[in-house]
Amino acid sequence: MRDTEEQFMNRFQNIIAVDEPKLVAAQAARWSLDRQYIRNDGFEALEAFKRRRKEVLELLRGLKPEQWDRGGIHPTRGRMSIKDFVVIMADTTRTIWNN
């Protein structure tokens, strides 16, 4: 989750800076190998996630109403707005924390 949070932040910053950018698909399967998850301390990873989530929330709280509709082109889902990504973030977080 900490790495997907980083990706959401990158996407939001890209969408805010560029009109309708082409977005890169998540590489979650590779992240576990490249970032050596098995060697990470779980508590440290959770703290890193919390820090990243706080940064994302600060960015989102600062958006102007019209910025919520800005979007980018996802390689498999098509056009997605910042609003659309926030729905995915909330749903994913709820699903993970409830299991």
User: 6-34, pLDDT tens digit by residue?
Assistant: 889 999 999 999 999 999 887 655 655 66
* First-to-last C-alpha distance (Å) of the chain: 14
Q: How confident is the model at residue 81 (pLDDT cuts 50, 70, 90)?
A: very high
- Cα–Cα distance between 26 and 7 in angstroms, integer? 8
Coil vs helix vs strand at 36: coil
CB neighbour list of residue 67: distance below 8 Å, 6 or more residues apart: 16, 82
Residue 27 burial (CB < 10 Å; 0-12/13-18/19+)? Answer: exposed
Assessment of whether the complete model's pTM goes beyond 0.85: no
What percent of the chain has a predicted confidence (pLDDT) above 70? Answer: 81
Coil vs helix vs strand at 1: coil
Chain position carrying tokens 């996630």: 49
